[in-house]
């Protein structure tokens, strides 16, 4: 089995605690996969398999990207779903798009493309996954999601992760890239 990589914004402990409480207020047993709080993140780019040459090139390019960014705010919005409303494929917390998040995403996509990665072309919809893969086609969930009450979180770095499906947490930090702190 090949190793998969992705680039994401890590979630800090305060927001992680809020999201964990939201998860506790929802019947997540209807999902096959519940995300561990330590694994909460906002994916900026999913890379999939990667060669050492691609990772080396990406490292140099991500160093250049983060040098052009100052820390900015990441604001959680609401609990939402992908897929069917009563049998969702993914349960997540949406993140409000802002100018800096959009610019960061574009810069990371450009860096990945220039390093030989082919990325998914779907629209960037920043979110934090709480659970995924609906368990039972005979059951449904009432989409009366709890209201999300929390502050924004400062984003000050990008993180390259690898996926370790059999471990907890399942997302392992490969390298962190800190933003410029003028």
Q: Which domain holds residue 118?
A: 5-178
Number of domains in the chain: 1
Q: C-alpha 52: how far from its chain's center?
A: 23
Q: What is the pLDDT of residues 149-169, one digit of tens each?
A: 888 999 999 999 999 988 889
d(C-alpha 87, C-alpha 131), whole Å: 12
Q: What is the pLDDT of residues 116-138, one digit of tens each?
A: 999 988 899 999 999 999 988 88
Question: What is the value of pTM for the model shown?
Answer: 0.93
Report whether pLDDT(44) > 90: yes
Neighbours of 108 (CB within 10 A): 23
Q: Domain containing 32 — which CATH number? A: 3.90.1140.10
């Amino acid at each position: 089995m090949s190793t998969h990589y992705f680039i994401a914004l890590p979630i800090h402990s305060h927001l992680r605690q809020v999201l964990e409480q939201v998860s506790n207020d929802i019947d997540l047993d209807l999902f096959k996969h519940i995300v561990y709080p330590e694994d909460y993140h906002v994916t900026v780019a999913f890379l999939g398999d990667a060669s050492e040459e691609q990772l080396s090139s990406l490292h140099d390019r991500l160093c250049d990207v983060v040098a052009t960014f100052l820390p900015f705010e990441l604001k959680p919005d609401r609990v939402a779903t992908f897929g069917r409303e009563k049998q969702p494929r993914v349960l997540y917390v949406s993140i409000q798009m802002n100018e800096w998040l959009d610019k960061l995403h574009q810069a990371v996509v450009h860096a990945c493309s220039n390093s030989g990665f082919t990325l998914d072309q779907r629209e960037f919809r920043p979110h934090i996954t709480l659970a995924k893969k609906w368990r039972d086609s005979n059951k449904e969930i009432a989409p009366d999601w709890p209201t999300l009450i929390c502050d924004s979180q400062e984003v000050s770095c990008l993180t390259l992760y690898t996926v370790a499906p059999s471990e907890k947490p399942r997302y392992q930090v490969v390298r962190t890239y800190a933003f410029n702190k003028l």
